[in-house]
Structure 1
Amino acid sequence: MISGARLGKISCRYLGIVIALAISLSSGAKADEFVGPIFRKGLWHFVRTLDLVAHRKTKHRLVERELTACVDPTIAMKATFASPSVGTCVSAKPEKNANTYTFSNRCDYLGPVSTVITVHSEEAYTEVNELNKGDVPRVEQVVAKRLGDCNDAAADVHRSATLSH
């Protein structure tokens, strides 16, 4: 059995290790701080469309999907802003102008894309990805809007409403 004095020494030692680890992690994180937009967690509604652009004025809608879920969009933005290079595709750093973030080239599941994220508020944004590879350019657009706080009843109502459309 461990005495109270010995337990106190062990606890203090571990506390010291935890504090040292926290300080080293926080000082290392400052170099890689997220510089993108921050959004509020909650119940969000997303509308995603994917269009083929045959001509400047002619688009053919391939996909239109809606999703309502309790999420933290900032987590997805961190992944977008940390877009790594894939093969020969090298992601560009985003350029910020007022409430718009523009990536001239970002490596995505579609391939190399140009991305524009327009932040309307901490509760709404639009993301447009343009892929000009191949004969027919494609445009993916995501319109996101926060509906409110998460709670089980609200989430269930919005999920069923989304599924019924």
Structure 2
Amino acid sequence: MTLITAVLGDITQQHVDALVNAASREMRGGSGVDGAIHRVGGASILTQCISRFPHGLATGDAGWTTAGDLPAKWVIHTVGPNRHAGETDRSLLASCYRRSLEVADELGAATVAFAIIGAGAYGWDLDTAVTTAVQTLAASPTQVREVTLVTPHDDALRTIEAQLLRA
């Protein structure tokens, strides 16, 4: 069984096997979590994104690169659905978590840190984003021993902790 916990903090500072990046479809860096991971991790992450994913990734899919200068081994990049662009299918949001765990299993990652995918610039309301994250992570078969949900916001931490109590 996978232990799921929540922490208030910076995802780029998590000492885990893999960090999950809420990436853009193009896989070329961006703002928010994506921009922070690329800034802190360094140019090697972008170089690998370009070579490994020349056409980017589909919404709901995931792929990996090494972690560059981050305190992790790998970055798992996943593309969340953008509600502002009309991508309102919650199953695509759930797919981000399932596919990320599948990639983590392929890599042999035992510890994985996730941001709450879709709850920022992509417009998903926090309750839906957190509920989808916790329910999907709890129900998905995986060899990952520990998942940490990381947020820099107190209100999001309280929402995650409340959902974890219900799970």
Provide the TM-score with structure 1 as the length reference.
0.34
Higher strand share: 1
Higher helix share: 2
Q: Which has the larger radius of gyration?
A: 1
Provide the TM-score with structure 2 as the length reference.
0.34
